[in-house]
Chains A and B, each alone.
Chain A
Amino acid sequence: MKGKTAVKTSPQPKPRMATPEEISRAIDEIGSADLLRLNRYAINRICCIGPHAASGRTEDDLLQTAVERLMDGTRHWFPEKAGIVSCLIGAIRSIASAWAAFGKRNANSPEYAILEAELIKEGQDGEVLSPFDVLSTENASPNVEEQAIQAEIETERKALADEIEASCADDDPASMVILGWQSDMDGPAIQKEFSWTETEYRTTVRRIQRRAHKIAERHYGR
């Protein structure tokens, strides 16, 4: 080891979790613009999961759930690592995803909620089928009702996507950004693709956001 300087790295201190009191104080200190940001973000996520998955829950419910999760320790806020607003945004995003996933799971397995008698079905030859056979075949593919719900969701999602895209049809940069998103590109990738500055990109997205927000208000009353 001669001639080598050993660089001692001290172990990283464990990030400190905020207490409910700190969370409460930090929430009190959130400024108007960030409160607006939280509201817009929650509306965005409710629109994203759609009314079926939201199942009557609003952006306010999403915000409340996010705060509850932080306060009860289901999610954590590390004050030294991020601000409270970023933390709440992360919580909002993940709760909305969970709501969407729950809706999807239960749309395909409503058998959990039906009576045993309803499971007794007859085959083509009139023989009574085992409830387990019925379950396994019905779970494999959605029934007519589920298919109708799924079609309704897709129609509603299509209408909203079409309307947002149509609102940007006469705005070439906005259409290009949407095209980029549809190709699974993020902001920096789109900027690079079209040789835009960040300001150009942001100004364009801002125009899309204004139109999209207006459309969402019309669709969902928010």
Chain B
Amino acid sequence: MTRPAAMAGAARTTAPVVVRSGELSKGGRRHLLSVAELGAEGIEEILEVSDAFVEVGRRSIPKVPSLRGRTVVTLFAEQSTRTRLSFETAAKRLSADVLSFSVDTSSVKKGESLRDTVETVAAMGVDAFVVRHTSAGAPAAVARWVDASVVNAGDGWHEHPTQALLDCYTIRQVLAERSGRPSQGAGVGCFVGLRVAIVGDVRHSRVARSLVLALGALGAEVTLVAPGSLLPPSLEGWPVTKVSYDLDAVLPHVDVCYLLRLQSERGAGAFLPSVREYSAWYGLTSRRAALLGDGALVMHPGPMNRGVEIADDVAALPQSLVLRQVSNGVAVRMAVLFMLLGQVGSGGAAPDLAPTLAPTPGTVPGA
């Protein structure tokens, strides 16, 4: 993985070019399949690179030529709106060519195996697959089958690494703003001892698995709050400080309350008596939100079930970061795609973050 030297214009003038290998590329790895493979150092690196792309996103023309000539395929074998659009926006802002591939319209329905489908697409010349699949481990399988880089965009109950990364980015950004310092160069010290409650269907949540691994690696204290039937059968090896069944007791003592989406079928009687009962015990109602300490953050990966895990007026509170999570998602995914694919294209140099329409080098706005 390549690391950009510094911020946009500065990189083109004075800053030295620093290229070093990230955790992702150790042992020749060119994929992002799990947060587990990143470690604290790898996460920090991605967050730092994301800072550069957040800046790009603020420009009037938020597009850079870093991945010009590279092809990114989004292979989505499960319904998704925000993740797909977020990845495609990220790839396009990096000037990559984007192919969009969903199972509904593909030959998978004609009986072609996933392997054949993937190999066929790969044969067209693809640099990266962004894979969303209902089966845990599907991105790992794709990585076995093709030479291209693979980014896990959510696999079954397993992981959703970029969601966890954008959540960490958002927390870090907000805490930096509050301390009056810029996010750039803020490091990840803000996570040490940060008290985070992850509330809801942990058992079936890929977001929870990735987030627990990321926060644990960064030194946060994670409390899982869920009914027993929605906790995983084993928490061995999970960097979790505490498990609680009592949201009211937990809320006054957290810095971040992260709500997971409850899929409606879980409330049909098999895992929960009803959605209504879940909401009564584990929903973040206005009454419960009032139990949160001053400045505690409320987060949700979306899409929200308003009135189930989060009350409508709670979602609208200023400390609710839901939309900011979404907008940071694009920058974080740009960082991931750039770090996986940028190395060859940029000739081992710092990323080309010059605006695509910059008249001449050296006259970059802000340089």
Q: Is chain B a partner of chain A in the same complex?
A: no
